[in-house]
């Protein structure tokens, strides 16, 4: 099946998308975040509304937070200008700009918005944006020069499992990821990486193993932070793959085991994405304690006491 036909199939299975106002940010949050040097910094995340990513990944659920068509020029600057003044207290160390798409895709972030955003984030010590490896190039350098702080780019590696990479419809191979990682390192730009837990086409019994291997791959290529994201259903395509036996939803215990096994990668920070964590299958008796333990591991790192549960024998 051609790439365009796969795109069409994935999009045809999606439920209706809610209306997204292109001039209003989805929201923001401030949280503490551990860095590779052991320090903890305060980070503001702004969830911006803009154009959908063109890559149509099989596992993606971010499309529901995007608008139809390209981002109107000036819209993102307007959104961010409303978020930053609403801060209470001292300014956070870092600002993360997540637009559910690719920051260096002009359809998602028009050039005038890139300039306007750079001006608005000038007082932050560090700025994080997200973008597909295929978009990493001269525009990254332009933005890095425009901002006052240090730039970090978050890239989805997802998995290095060969069959999964081939079928995720992400249009990414390891050579292209490696090239993007080298480009960032050569230009003094930090790399953050997203890795999936429970990627479709990865056998369920090998789920943890391949996630750890993917984290190791990212760390060896300079990732300062790796965030492990459990795959969520709900986009139609994941339900189709589950029915076909190609996807098994990951569990909370698998996420915990993966994080524990990533303790060896001490030069980088490996964290569990706890967004929608309540959707992961888990023992009702110890779920809350395990989520709390993961939250502690995210911030403190190191070794945290294990949760012992009589009901699930762990």
Domains of the chain: 3-300 (3.20.20.70)
> In the prediction, which pLDDT does 232 show?
93
So what's the pLDDT on residue 115? Answer: 95
Q: pLDDT tens across 96-148, in order? A: 999 999 999 999 999 999 999 999 999 999 999 999 999 999 999 999 999 98
CA 85 vs. chain centroid, Å, equals 25
Q: How far apart are CA 127 and CA 296, in angstroms?
A: 24
C-beta separation of 76 from 21 below 8 A: no
pLDDT tens-digit readout, 250-297: 999 999 999 999 999 988 999 999 999 999 999 999 999 999 999 999
Task: State the pLDDT confidence band at 91, using cuts at 50, 70 and 90.
Answer: confident
Give per-residue pLDDT as tens, 297-311: 999 988 888 999 988
Looking at residue 85, its pLDDT comes to 83
pLDDT at 314 over 70: no
Given a cut of 70, is residue 230 above it in pLDDT? yes
HSE-CB for 111 with a 13 A CA cutoff: 3
Mean of the pLDDT values across residues 32-60?
95
Name the pTM for this structure: 0.96
Average pLDDT over residues 233-258: 97
pLDDT at 90 over 90: no
Residues of the chain with pLDDT > 70, as a percent, come to 99
Q: Is residue 65 pLDDT above 80, yes or no?
A: yes
| pLDDT interval class at 24 (50, 70, 90) | very high
Q: Is pLDDT at 216 greater than 80 in this prediction? A: yes
């Amino acid at each position: 099946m051609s790439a365009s036909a796969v795109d069409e199939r994935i999009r045809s299975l999606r439920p209706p998308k809610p209306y997204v106002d292109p001039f209003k940010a989805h929201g923001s949050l401030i949280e503490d975040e551990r860095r590779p040097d052991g320090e903890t910094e305060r980070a503001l995340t702004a969830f911006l509304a803009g154009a959908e990513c063109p890559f149509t990944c099989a596992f993606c659920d971010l499309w529901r937070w995007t608008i139809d068509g390209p981002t109107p020029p000036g819209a993102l600057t307007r959104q961010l200008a409303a978020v930053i003044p609403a801060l209470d207290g001292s300014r956070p160390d870092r600002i993360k700009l997540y637009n559910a798409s690719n920051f260096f895709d002009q359809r998602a972030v028009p050039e005038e918005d890139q300039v306007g955003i750079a001006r608005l984030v000038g007082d932050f010590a560090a700025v994080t944006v997200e973008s597909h490896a295929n978009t990493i190039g001269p525009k990254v350098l332009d933005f890095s020069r425009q901002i006052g702080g240090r730039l970090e780019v978050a890239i989805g590696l997802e998995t290095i499992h060969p069959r999964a990479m081939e079928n995720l419809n992400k249009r990414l191979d390891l050579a292209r990821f490696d090239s993007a990682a080298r480009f960032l390192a050569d230009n003094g730009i930090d790399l953050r990486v997203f890795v999936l837990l429970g990627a479709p086409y990865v056998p369920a019994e090998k789920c943890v193993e391949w996630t750890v291997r993917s984290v190791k791959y990212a760390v060896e290529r300079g990732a300062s932070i790796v965030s492990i994201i459990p795959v969520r259903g709900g986009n139609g395509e994941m339900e189709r793959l589950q029915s076909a036996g190609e996807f098994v939803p990951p569990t909370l215990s698998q996420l915990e085991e993966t994080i524990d096994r990533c303790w060896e990668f001490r030069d980088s920070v490996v964290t569990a994405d706890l967004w929608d964590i309540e959707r992961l299958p888990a023992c009702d008796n110890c779920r809350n304690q395990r989520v709390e333990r993961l939250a502690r591991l995210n911030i403190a790192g190191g070794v945290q006491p294990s949760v012992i549960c009589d009901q699930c024998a762990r």
